[in-house]
Amino acid sequence: MRTMKNGRGCGRAARRLAIALPLLLLSIMALAGCAQEDKLRFDEVKLVAEPSEPTAGPDTKLTVQVENGKYKDREATVQIQINSRNTLPQLLDAVREGDDYSVAYAFPKAGDYVITIHMYYSDEEHYEFGKQLKVAGE
């Protein structure tokens, strides 16, 4: 073990560590940020209902819009899951129309629904987003 005269060697080591540690942390944060940039985010997936205020009974067109350039151009398998306290869940296969994915569904009852959007871009990439939708009575 090396001895330091007057404790000066410890000061240099501490300064080096004080410089190296923040640089290491910044590097880790930058790499973590890059990894997150590649993922599809909740705010980049929109659910659009047509009519915009759906009612129970007639068909409502549900459209999934992707607002992420990397994923918008890629082919995906998209399923829309209709969830309600009043009915059993329904899983529907959406069809690609241009850049969007759509399916028609007749809501059986008025109420609050959670529409779960399942997006499969490959065997390893599955995204799932839950969106709220209020359905009025007939």
Q: Model confidence over 81-121: pLDDT tens digits? A: 999 987 889 999 999 999 999 999 999 999 999 999 999 99
Residues 122 and 66 both lie in one domain:
yes
Give the separation between CA 116 and CA 79, rounded to whole angstroms: 8
Q: Does 136 or 31 have the greater pLDDT score? A: 136
Q: Compute the residue count for the chain.
A: 138
Q: Which domain holds residue 76?
A: 42-135
> Could you tell me which residues come within 8 angstroms of residue 93 by beta carbon, excluding any fewer than 6 positions away?
77, 78, 79, 103
Say how many domains are in the chain.
2
pLDDT single digits (tens) 25-55: 555 554 544 445 578 999 999 999 999 999 9
**% residues pLDDT > 90 (the chain):** 62
pLDDT recorded at residue 12: 72
- pLDDT digit string (tens) for 47-80? 999 999 999 999 999 999 999 989 998 999 999 9
Same domain, 34 and 91: no
Q: Are residues 5 and 49 in the same domain?
A: no
> Which pLDDT does position 122 carry in this prediction?
85
Q: For the domain that residue 118 is a member of, what is the CATH number?
A: 2.60.40.10
pLDDT of residue 21: 56
pTM: 0.72
Stretch (H or E) spanning 26: helix 8-37
Q: What is the CA radius of gyration of the chain?
A: 25
Looking at the structure, do residues 22 and 89 belong to the same domain, yes or no?
A: no
As a three-state string, the secondary structure of 53-118 is: CCECCCEEEEEEEECCHHHHCCCCEEEEEEECCCCCCEEEECEEECCEEEEEEECCCCEEEEEEEE
Same domain, 73 and 48: yes
| CB-based contact 47:63 (threshold 8 Å) | yes
Residues 13, 99: Cα–Cα separation, whole Å = 57
